[in-house]
Amino acid sequence: MAVELDVFVGNTIIMSEEVYQLWLDGYTVNDAVKVRMEGGVLDEFDAKADVVLSDTMDQYRTFQMCERLLHSPTKLANQLLFQIPPHRQATLIERYYAFDDVFVREVLGKKLSKGTKKDLDDISAKTGVMLKSCRRQFDNFKRVFKVVEELKGPLVENIRQHFLLSDKLARDYAAIVFFANNRFETGKRKLQYLTFQDLAFCAGQLINNWTVGAVDNMVEDMDVDLDKEFLQELKELKVLITDKDLLDQHKSLVCTALRGKTKAFNEMEANFKNLSRGLVNIATKLTNTKDVRDFFIDLVEKFIEPCRSDHWTAADMKLYLTHYTNSAHILDTFKHQVVWDRYMGVIKSCIFKMYHD
């Protein structure tokens, strides 16, 4: 007695968020049935396995049919095939575009190309995210990237409008696009301790302050590429370390301000020149694409690691960077206050975010 055909179609879409999640996670129908039954659908409703199977199949088919629409979410709102209440539409989209932090952490900064796609097996094995789900997430990144690449206007806003995502998710996607576009290196072992949220926050800082869009908001690619002029100007900061007087003056100003306020004062004083050189060198090298890619690794190696080995607390870090930044304004021969602020503002918040275990 084989069931040859079995369908159930409602005038309004019939879906359970639980099954949708299983589908998104890449479970096969049979595995999904198993999970559901273990999850207690049975006890709750005296349902036999075949009933759960039939229900799961119906929903899987529905999701598959919706998937095409989900690729361009704006269509979902004015398509006629399925009658989906607005809050359901929002759920469908938001969940479809949601991703696993562990997965995205792996591909962050990689080129969204066929080559990377081939590595998904390994990533799947490493992260425990099912391959099917990895593919979906990867394709989502690629799709979003492709669409917003060519658009004018603010990145986050574009993503939100074209994919109808929530503000939070749109920001995350902006970060992913930004990382992919600039190919920041994030995979090194030293960077492993950073979560996606850390990096996404930093990306947000960079997008808001260092891109073309930060100054001019009607340029193509404005939010995706760093502001070249600004990067050029950063070279000027070199005086802070090349000019011996300036360096000493800067050091003494910072030390005066810090004295007595922190236990790590001695280490700060001892390391000042090193640390300052580190930060300024990062700034001056950013015209180089290769060095842009190493931005995060440099931050960690040149600044975060030395501080950590000296057991600075987060508060110490904050205190130090605040005074380090502000003191530069008092240096009378230092003329590049604007660039300095634009640079240090981002560096400060990135380091605050990245300074943890």
Partner 1 sequence: MPGKLKAKIVAGRHLPVMDRASDLTDAFVEVKFGNTTFKTDVYPKSLNPQWNSEWFKFEVDDEDLQDEPLQITVLDHDTYSANDAIGKVYIDIDPLLYSEAASVISGWFPIYDTIHGIRGEINVLVKVELFNDLNRFRQSSCGVKFFCTTSIPKGYRAAIVHGFVEELVVNEDPEYQWIDRIRTPRASNEARQRLIFLMSGELQRKIGLKVLEMGGNAVVGYLQCFDLEGESGLVVRAIGTACTLEKLSSGSGTHTHPNTAPASNACNSPSKDGKEPVFGEDLPSSSGPSTPFRALPTSSSSPPPFSPSKPCSRQSSSSDTDLSLTPKTGMGSGSMGKDAGPLKTLLRQQTQTALEQRQEFPFFTLTSFPSGFLLHVGGVVSARSVKLLDRIHNPDEPETRDAWWEEIRQEIKSHAKALGCHAVVGYSESTSICEEVCILSASGTAAILNPRYMREGCLDLGGSDQRWFEDPSPSSCGFCHIPYDELNMPFPAQLTYCFHCRRQKVPDVLFTTIDLPSDAAIAGKGCFIQARLCRLKKKGQGEANATAISNQLPFMEYELHTQLMNKLKLRSMNALFGLSIQISVGENMLLGLASATGVYLTALPAPGGIQIAGKTPGDLNTEQHILNIQKRINDTIAKNKEFYEVNPPDLTEEVVGSPIPEPRLRSRLFRSHSESSDELSELDLSHGKKDAFVLEVDDTDAVEDIQSLLTDASPPKGFYSCNTETMPGIYNWTSALQMFTSVRVLRLSNANLSNQALNKVFTDLCENLLKSFYFKLRSMIPCCLSHLVFSVAVPEEDLIQVAVTAVAMTFDKDQTQDKPAEKPITKGCSEAEDQLQFSLELCTDSSSINSQSSSKNSGVPESSHLSTRVSSLEHSSPLTDGRSRSLRSSRSFGGSSVSVVKMTPLSFLPGTRIVKYVGIINMFFIRETTSLREEGGVSGFLHSFVAEVFAMVRAHVAALGGNAVVSYSMKDCVLMENPNKNQCQCLINVSGDAVIYIRETDQEVTGSTANIRLSCTSSADGAT
Q: 91 or 287, CB closer to partner 1?
A: 91
Distance CA 185, CA 164 (A): 29
User: According to CB under 8 A, which residues from 22 to 61 bind partner 1?
Assistant: 45-48, 50-52, 54-55, 57-58, 61
Shortest distance (Å) from residue 206 CB to partner 1: 30
Is 74 a binding residue for partner 1 by CB under 8 A? The answer is yes
Shortest distance (Å) from residue 1 CB to partner 1: 6
What single string gives the DSSP state of each residue in 226-257?
B-HHHHHHHGGGGHHHHSHHHHHHHHHHHHHH
**How would you class 246 by CB atoms within 10 Å of its CB: exposed for 0-12, middle for 13-18, buried for 19 or more?**
middle
Is 81 a binding residue for partner 1 by CB under 8 A? The answer is yes
Shortest distance (Å) from residue 65 CB to partner 1: 6
Assess contact for 163 and 73: CB atoms under 8 A.
Answer: yes
**Residue corresponding to tokens 């975060």:** 304
Q: Please give the C-alpha separations between residue 234 and each of 57, 70, 222, 334, in angstroms, as whole numbers.
A: 58, 43, 19, 13
What single string gives the DSSP state of each residue in 59-70?
HHHHHHHHHHHH
Q: 77 or 125, CB closer to partner 1?
A: 77
Shortest distance (Å) from residue 90 CB to partner 1: 6
Distance CA 196, CA 182 (A): 16
Is 83 a binding residue for partner 1 by CB under 8 A? The answer is yes
Residue span 88-117 as binding mask against partner 1, x where in contact by CB under 8 A, dash where not? xxx---------------------------
Is 11 a binding residue for partner 1 by CB under 8 A? The answer is yes
Closest CA to 55 of 100, 7, 111, 124: 7
Q: CB under 8 Å to 156, separation ≥6 — which residues?
A: 167, 170, 171, 174, 207, 223
- How many positions of this chain bind partner 1 (CB under 8 A)? 51
Q: Rg for the chain (alpha carbons), in Å?
A: 25
Q: 83 or 217, CB closer to partner 1?
A: 83
| From candidates 40, 86, 115, 260, binder to partner 1 by CB under 8 A | 86
Is 64 a binding residue for partner 1 by CB under 8 A? The answer is yes
Shortest distance (Å) from residue 62 CB to partner 1: 8
Is 78 a binding residue for partner 1 by CB under 8 A? The answer is yes
Is 5 a binding residue for partner 1 by CB under 8 A? The answer is yes
Is 164 a binding residue for partner 1 by CB under 8 A? The answer is yes
Distance CA 283, CA 317 (A): 19
* Helix, strand or coil, per DSSP, at residue 12: strand
Is 82 a binding residue for partner 1 by CB under 8 A? The answer is yes
Is 144 a binding residue for partner 1 by CB under 8 A? The answer is no
Q: CB under 8 Å to 263, separation ≥6 — which residues?
A: 316
Shortest distance (Å) from residue 80 CB to partner 1: 5
Structure tokens at 280: 């300024």
Shortest distance (Å) from residue 147 CB to partner 1: 15
The CA-based diameter of the chain, rounded to the nearest angstrom, is 91
User: According to CB under 8 A, which residues from 316 to 335 bind partner 1?
Assistant: none
| From candidates 25, 31, 35, 79, binder to partner 1 by CB under 8 A | 79
| From candidates 13, 275, 280, 328, binder to partner 1 by CB under 8 A | 13
Q: 58 or 298, CB closer to partner 1?
A: 58
Q: CB under 8 Å to 309, separation ≥6 — which residues?
A: none
Shortest distance (Å) from residue 175 CB to partner 1: 23
How far is Cα of residue 60 from the mean position of the Cα atoms in its chain? 30
Is 17 a binding residue for partner 1 by CB under 8 A? The answer is yes
For partner 1, the binding residues (CB under 8 A) are 1-17, 45-48, 50-52, 54-55, 57-58, 61-62, 64-65, 73-90, 164
